[in-house]
Amino acid sequence: MTSPQNIQNIPNIQQLANSLNEVSLSTSPTNTFSGSFNSFKARRLSTTNKAKPLKPFSTGDFKILLLENVNQTAIDILSKQGYQIEFHKTSLGEAELIEKIKDVHAIGIRSKTKLTEKILSHAANLVSIGCFCIGTNQVDLEYAAKKGIAVFNSPFSNSRSVAELVIAEIITLARQLGDRSIELHSGTWNKVSAKCWEIRGKTLGIVGYGHIGAQLSVLAEAMGMNVIYYDVQMIMSMGTAKQVGSLKELLNNADFVTLHVPELPETKGMISTAQFNEMKQGSYLINASRGTVVDIPALIEARKSGRVAGFALDVFPNEPAKNGVDLFNNDLNAWASELTSLGNVILSPHIGGSTEEAQSAIGVEVGSALVKYINEGSSIGSVNFPEVDLRTLSQDQVNHVRVLYIHQNVPGVLRTVNEIFAEHNIDKQFSDSEGDIAYLMADISDVYESDIKKLYEQLEQTPFKIRTRLLY
């Protein structure tokens, strides 16, 4: 028997054929693979009329690879769906990742795993990527969209954790606390007040006034700091913070400069020699954004000259994929040993968002977004896809199919697709586009088992199709 899901290319055909023979028609929540989902589980194509009962697949056929110690909250949410989960505490090297990605339908990563075009080109079955973090610069978002892979992240669940770390670093730098602690750990009592400052009344310059920058602004003002910020967007200030018109203006006026911009071509090397020369003599720099934003050799020079009185780095251009690795033992980080020879320097291993609260919230947010996309097709919150959703169908509805059709954004698609749907009844339809990619979701009724294969094949044969999924 040819199953409708067999022709959806998820998962591999032989496995699906096997599972078809095993799965019963019960409404068990495990019978909810891409051909169906939990909230649809009571819906079946009618066994009366011309229809034969459908045999939905088990969600157990859906494979998810979770890397980088993604939080337990995510594992709980995903395993509850019955998906097969392979979990790794670390990131994987390119060759191993290519092998594993060939087989999986979704992948969960954090900031270390690079999902390049080369790696994604092997991802034959991949429908979604969950970035269990804020940053998505590690994924080739455009290529993923072209392959019909929706990418989700957690836009602000760790913002507060980063802001709190930066506050700690501002005080630590102002009081040279790191150096005093290192000295005392090695037995040296060195009580000094020279060039140690209160932060009250000092000016904090925030570069990038988004989720983290704005949180930080509130905390800093509460401690008596004056806040100025620079952003490419006009953004309403929190409290009495003031937006300045240029990066130069911010650098000229801030006692502490803290960076909270995303990694973009424009932010690469954004703070280099010219920018250090604009900073106030004896000011401080904090980078908890991305390692590429600061030119580290230039920073070292600025610290040596005293232009910068101290700095804190939470992020580095080439970060190790796992714990226990020697950051200095990496040719790409040739400057690393120099960092430790400088006074008043705080180095942390990319822990800005690493709190129990943040990781647990991220696990819930991204885990839930993956389930909504896999099971219902909702792309709300996707960072590389048009955001499309339809209300969840009632469990009582029969002979309904939800069509998820990702296609090139070219003229004539809706006419063609609606001609295909014309034999049935279109209950609801929503379509949106972003750049070259468009996503159409339609709930259609009067569909019988005997129609499914034809419907799927007709959509797959359209010249602009990127990916088709049918949920029922």
Ligand X SMILES: NC(=O)c1ccc[n+]([C@@H]2O[C@H](COP(=O)([O-])OP(=O)(O)OC[C@H]3O[C@@H](n4cnc5c(N)ncnc54)[C@H](O)[C@@H]3O)[C@@H](O)[C@H]2O)c1
Q: Which of residues 63-122 bind ligand X (CB under 6 A)?
A: none
295 binds, among ligand X, ligand 3PG, none (CB under 5 to 8 A by kind): none
**C-beta closer to ligand 3PG: residue 34 or 158:** 158
110 binds, among ligand X, ligand 3PG, none (CB under 5 to 8 A by kind): ligand 3PG
Angstrom CA distances, 404 to 35, 92, 242, 385, 472, stand at 11, 31, 46, 13, 11
Least distance to ligand 3PG from the beta carbon of 153, Å? 8
Least distance to ligand X from the beta carbon of 155, Å? 6
**C-beta closer to ligand X: residue 135 or 317:** 135
Told to judge if 424 belongs to the known catalytic residues of this protein, a careful annotator would answer: no
Least distance to ligand X from the beta carbon of 232, Å? 4
**C-beta closer to ligand X: residue 164 or 338:** 164
Told to judge if 319 belongs to the known catalytic residues of this protein, a careful annotator would answer: yes
Concatenate the DSSP letters of all residues of 330-385 into one string.
-GGGTTHHHHHHSSSEEE-SS-TT-SHHHHHHHHHHHHHHHHHHHHH---TTBSSS
- Catalytic residue (one of 221, 249, 278, 319): 319
Nearest-angstrom CA–CA distance, 154 and 89: 19
The β-bridge relationship of strands 400-408 and 465-471 is: antiparallel
Q: Which of residues 254-313 bind ligand X (CB under 6 A)?
A: 260-264, 266-267, 288-290
DSSP tag of 43: -
Specify the residue for token string 């055909």: 13
The β-bridge relationship of strands 226-230 and 242-243 is: parallel
Told to judge if 221 belongs to the known catalytic residues of this protein, a careful annotator would answer: no
**C-beta closer to ligand X: residue 33 or 385:** 385
Q: Looking at the chain, how many residues does it have? A: 472
Concatenate the DSSP letters of all residues of 123-192 into one string.
-TT--EEEESSS--TTB-HHHHHHTT-EEE--SSTTHHHHHHHHHHHHHHHHTTHHHHHHHHHTT-----
Least distance to ligand X from the beta carbon of 318, Å? 15
Least distance to ligand X from the beta carbon of 261, Å? 4
173 binds, among ligand 3PG, ligand X, none (CB under 5 to 8 A by kind): none
Please identify which residue in 8, 158, 375, 468 interacts with ligand X, judged by CB under 6 A.
158
Q: Are 74 and 366 in contact (CB under 8 A)?
A: yes
160 contributes a contact to ligand X by CB under 6 A: no
Nearest-angstrom CA–CA distance, 59 and 428: 26
Other beta carbons within 10 Å of 381:
20
**C-beta closer to ligand 3PG: residue 17 or 383:** 383
| Nearest position to ligand X, beta carbon | 210
Fill in the per-residue mask, 207 to 226: x = in contact with ligand X (CB under 6 A), - = not in contact. xxxxxxx-------------
**C-beta closer to ligand X: residue 36 or 161:** 161
- Catalytic residue (one of 105, 180, 290, 402): 290
C-alpha closest to that of 291 among 246, 330, 254: 330
- What's the Rg (C-alpha) of the chain? 26
Least distance to ligand X from the beta carbon of 240, Å? 19
Least distance to ligand 3PG from the beta carbon of 446, Å? 46
Cα distance from N-terminal residue to C-terminal residue, the chain: 18
Please identify which residue in 154, 159, 203, 226 interacts with ligand X, judged by CB under 6 A.
159
135 contributes a contact to ligand X by CB under 6 A: yes
Per residue, what are the HEC states of 56-72? CCCHHHCEEEECCCCCH
Chain residues that interact with ligand 3PG, rule: CB under 6 A: 110-112, 133-135, 158, 350, 353-354
In sequence order, the 6+-apart residues with CB closer than 8 A to the CB of 191 are: none
**C-beta closer to ligand 3PG: residue 131 or 404:** 131
Least distance to ligand X from the beta carbon of 133, Å? 7
Bridge partners of 403, per DSSP, are 442, 470
- Catalytic residue (one of 175, 350, 424, 467): 350
Nearest-angstrom CA–CA distance, 76 and 97: 23
314 binds, among ligand X, ligand 3PG, none (CB under 5 to 8 A by kind): ligand X
In sequence order, the 6+-apart residues with CB closer than 8 A to the CB of 405 are: 417, 439, 440, 441, 442, 459, 465, 467, 468
**C-beta closer to ligand X: residue 62 or 284:** 284
The helix (H) or strand (E) run that includes residue 92 is none
Q: Which stretch in 38-46, 63-71, 158-166, 328-336 sits in contact with ligand X by CB under 6 A?
A: 158-166
Query: Which residues form the catalytic set?
Result: 290, 319, 350
Interaction site with ligand X (CB under 6 A): 134-135, 156, 158-159, 162, 207-213, 230-233, 260-264, 266-267, 288-290, 314-315, 350, 352-353
